[in-house]
Structure 1
Amino acid sequence: MSLLRKVITSEQGRVSHQPLPALQGTDGNWHALSALQGLTVLFTCPRPTPPNVPQVPGWIQVGRHLPLAPQARAFAAVLHELQAAGVAQIFGISTSGHAEQKQLVKRARLPFHFLSDQQLRLAAKLNLPTFEVEGQTLLERGAMILRDGAVQTHFHPILAPERSPSEVLNWLKG
């Protein structure tokens, strides 16, 4: 049984005809998601937890929302396979700010950038699943495949973050 399930799909393979917002990345650039060419993998996750900082209270009760490093590292580990399957770019997305995201990218030595959806523009546009802890609205873990800036499929829920890239690869090869 798959731990991921496609919840957004259509007969034509395109589910979002609406323009997607531009989000700022850890590279300092604004990335217009609707203008991305080719295949793009976006994975959504709650937020990075800086070293030596306690977890947000309440995360124990929502265990599937633990820090994003395992999911990010799993995507980094299969980056070459994703590229071989035709993926032109990959981005992580969270609602955290750039300072937290930059720290994660540097600390985990990630070969891709994170985009900040701190204002929840992408989450609202695509009705992405979110949750609240201690007054913070965070994205649930998910993964999306875009083709030429349009969402093709969305994987959710993700219960085992380290398996998320395998499900994406299986869909791409399938």
Structure 2
Amino acid sequence: MRIGEVARRAGVTTKAVRYYESLGLIAPDRLANGYRDYDEHDVRLIGEIRALNRLGIPVERTRPFLDCLTAGRAHADDCPASLAGYREAIDDLSRRIAELTARRAALTAQLRDAAYRNSTACQGETMSDLSVLPAGLPVPEDDGAARHLPGLRLPALELPDTSGGALRLGEPVEGRTVLYVYPLTGRPDADLPQGWEAIPGARGCTAEACDFRDHHQELAEAGAARVFGLSSQDTDYQREVVERLRLPFAMLSDPALELAGALGLPTFEAGGRTLFRRLTLIVRGGVIEHVFHPVFPPDRHARQVLDWLRANPVRPIRKSR
């Protein structure tokens, strides 16, 4: 058969066939007129070269497999030399993987160093990009998704926190608890989900955390015995946020969104994940006393909570005589 036909049947280009021939991997007969004459064995050899190359074995190293077929074996890897060829290819891949893994780790470290070096984590007057809200963010509307929450008791959930322990949500404690729920906190070395700023109420988790940090003492003086942030991010991720932003309170992790399921909290989809929508619960005696939803702007939300606490002080219980 002619070169065009053998190339078509083997699924390669005529240029590839000529290359294999130049390496001596195939040796078609010559007709009296000088044309190459390929047969079924050549089709088989070329197909084997193609298959092995797809596995990562260079064309130049396929000779032991082709020799095995030429020797009459049913499979190209029925010979000891073929098995040695597999091992050699695996060793090459292992070396490349190790080199690429080391290079990836070095690049990751460089990215982290550069990103964190240029991030001031909302310290002082100069803030990082994550803590500064861009102009023109869409304002979330009150769709009534949280109106059912006041008066509900927190479920008996135990969620891990960044202090190394776990918090039992349903247990009543003395004083008020401020629990602000947020979608996810960004990090300097990681991108936010695509289209994040176009989702009403999504952007601003770092700015919100900074605002609660900066007014933590005032919140305590106004009657907030405890302040917690809660998201679906894992505890290790949140621990980095607590340390980087120097938060004086712990973060709770709810990766399975159990609290959303138990209370019917609103959620949304972004980046292939289901996330909490931003809201804040004021809890007293294990019962939700007040809800802030929607929350906007998040970088001034702690002051909104502070104003509410001051306007609604806890009245001491008078003992009857």
Structure label with greater radius of gyration: 2
Secondary structure (helix, strand or coil) at the match of 1:60 reads helix
Equivalent residue runs for 1:106-145 within 5 Å: 106-145=243-282
For 2:153 and 2:191, the matched residues in 1 are separated by 40
The residue type paired with residue 170 of structure 2 is S
The answer to whether residue 288 in structure 2 is matched with residue 151 in structure 1 is yes
Shift of residue 143, structure 1, vs aligned partner: 0.9
2:219 & 2:212 partners in 1: Cα distance?
9
Partner residue in 2 for 1:53: 190
**How high is the TM-score relative to the length of structure 1?**
0.88
2: CA distance between counterparts of 1:49 and 1:167?
Answer: 23
Q: What's the counterpart of residue 71 of structure 2?
A: none
Report the counterpart of residue 77 of structure 1 in structure 2: 214
Q: TM-score, normalised by structure 2?
A: 0.49
Q: Tell me if the contact between 1:42 and 1:145 (Cα under 8 Å) persists in the aligned partners.
A: yes
* Cα deviation digits, residues 40-81 of structure 1 (max 9, x gap): 000011112222211111213215211511001101111111
Amino acid at match of 1:49: G
Provide the identity percentage.
34
What is the aligned-residue RMSD (CA, Å)? Answer: 2.1
Distance 1:20 1:163 in 2: 31
Structure 1's 120 and 73: CA in aligned 2 closer, same or farther, altered over 3 A? same
- Aligned partner (choices 180, 186, 200) of residue 43 of structure 1: 180
Q: Give the letter aligned to residue 33 of structure 1.
A: L
Contact 1:50–1:100 under 8 Å retained in 2: no
Q: Which of 214, 221, 227 lines up with 1:90 in the alignment?
A: 227
- Give, in angstroms, the shift of residue 4 of structure 1: 9.6
Aligned to 2:167: 31
Segments of 4+ moved more than 3 angstroms = 3-10
Deviations 1:3-59 (A, max 9, x none): 99795478xxx5113534121101121101111412100001111222221111121
- 5+ residue gaps, structure 2, are 1-139, 312-321
SS at match of 1:64: coil
Q: How many aligned positions are there?
A: 169
Deviation at 1:158, TM superposition (A): 1.0
Gaps of 5+ in 1: none
Does the residue aligned with 1:157 lie in a helix, a strand or coil?
coil
More strand by share: 1
Q: Does 1:16 align with 2:159?
A: no
